[in-house]
Structure 1
Amino acid sequence: MIIDGMPAIVTGAASGLGEGTARALAAKGAKVALLDMNAEKLEAVASEIGGLAIACDVTSAESAEAAVAKAHEVHGACAINVNCAGIAPAAKIVGRNGAMDLDAFRKVIEVNLIGTFNMLRLTAADMADREPNEDGERGIIINTASIAAFEGQIGQAAYAASKGGVVGLTLPAAREFARTGIRVNAIAPGLFGTPMLLGMPQDVQDSLTATLPFPSRFGKPSEYAALAIHMIENAVMNGECVRLDSALRMQPK
């Protein structure tokens, strides 16, 4: 798909991987709708790249439906959707204070997996209204998994389960949408320089980067975005989850 002029929707776009992807898409000429719950930061990023800021809670059907409708109204039917919204709280299944709170587990699943599915279902329906290109393609959806989907550490049960669900969603969605010319891929990042990691004490950051074979540094949001751009432009890349992790294989803890 040629990105220039295409309507795009990016979730989690106020910071981190989402912001990096929104900036990369705008630089390629896409008409970008940025979705996030942090309205103030969202407006600032959107203003810088000439995008459309839409406050959105991806776990809410009504909020997401309104956001996709607004993006359609301003930019036209979605052609590109990259879902980066997510949370990563740590908690053991059974810790010092007993069993993990069920609502805490539910919240992670709701944001990372159900929120991703919520956007996928809505943007895919929106893409179906588009005229196909010469390949018969109408759109592409890229979801964010994690290497925790494959090597979840102690304390990551909820996060790993949610991201494992994103991986599992990729192929059946790609197969279902094939008849309408919509591709679905996922990216499984390792340790990336997002606000969450960069807000940790320096000694903790140093210990984390020491586990990375090469390069021994956090990935950059621009590097995540570069892979997303490649997936969009490479028409035969479909139904795939790609690790982006400096060859990291996480240990139990």
Structure 2
Amino acid sequence: MGLMSSKIGRDELRPGDHIYTWRSGNSYSHHGIYVRDGKVIHLTRGPGLIIFSSSTQSSDDRVVCSNMEDFLCDGQLYRFEYGVSRFEFFIRRPGTCSLASSDPPEQVLHRAYYLLENGFGNYQLLNRNCEDFSIYCKTGFINTGRHGSFSGQISSLFSAINAVAIIPYRFLPASLIGLALVVCGLYCFLRLSNDAGRGNRDFDAVEVEKLADLSDAHNIREDMNMMENSTIRRFLRRVNYHSGGIVWTIRIWYWTPENTTLLWFK
């Protein structure tokens, strides 16, 4: 099996495996936990384009147990790899592996079945999606803050945006090779810092039996926000968390006089 692919056959599946399949022309992947007998437990969302859902949409955003055919939707089967090296982490496509170690299959299946009965909370593209659900089942790590995600697909997108935006262009190497190395290095650093295996003060190991209390508190905050703000404003506020650093960096590197900026490096 090559480093760039974790495609597997159904006969290679083991209960507790984190699996995924690419959809919409390989533009994004859908994740779930294989249990047994050709069944997959995964987080689904309501129909249409949904960035994040409210409590009124929770009936459409739920954890379900589907057969493999429905989960794959004619796509190919892949296995998410855990405990990979940093080298493998960087050369593989985001959303296919993690530095974090997986818990034993018994714990993974316990979390998956418990969440099947009790739910995982409302779907949120930016910090509680199907990949976050599967990573939680495998590791026990969950976002306990207002922002952030272990989803490799989401974190890589914001890492790429920030890597390009926060480069101090007036001090860039003159060559294109130097520019590429600086951008690539910053992107790798930002992507690595958001992985479940690196640790983050907003992410903690939470027992699945206590997850409902955490979700209830989160939903209460969401309902209060919905009463005060429109859906678009809430979405922009979430995006602003990830991109807020861009604004301040632009102010530092472009609005500060060059002689003042140079003093900071002396």
Judge same fold: TM > 0.5, yes or no. Answer: no
Give 1 or 2 for the bigger CA radius of gyration. Answer: 2
TM-score by length of 2: 0.25
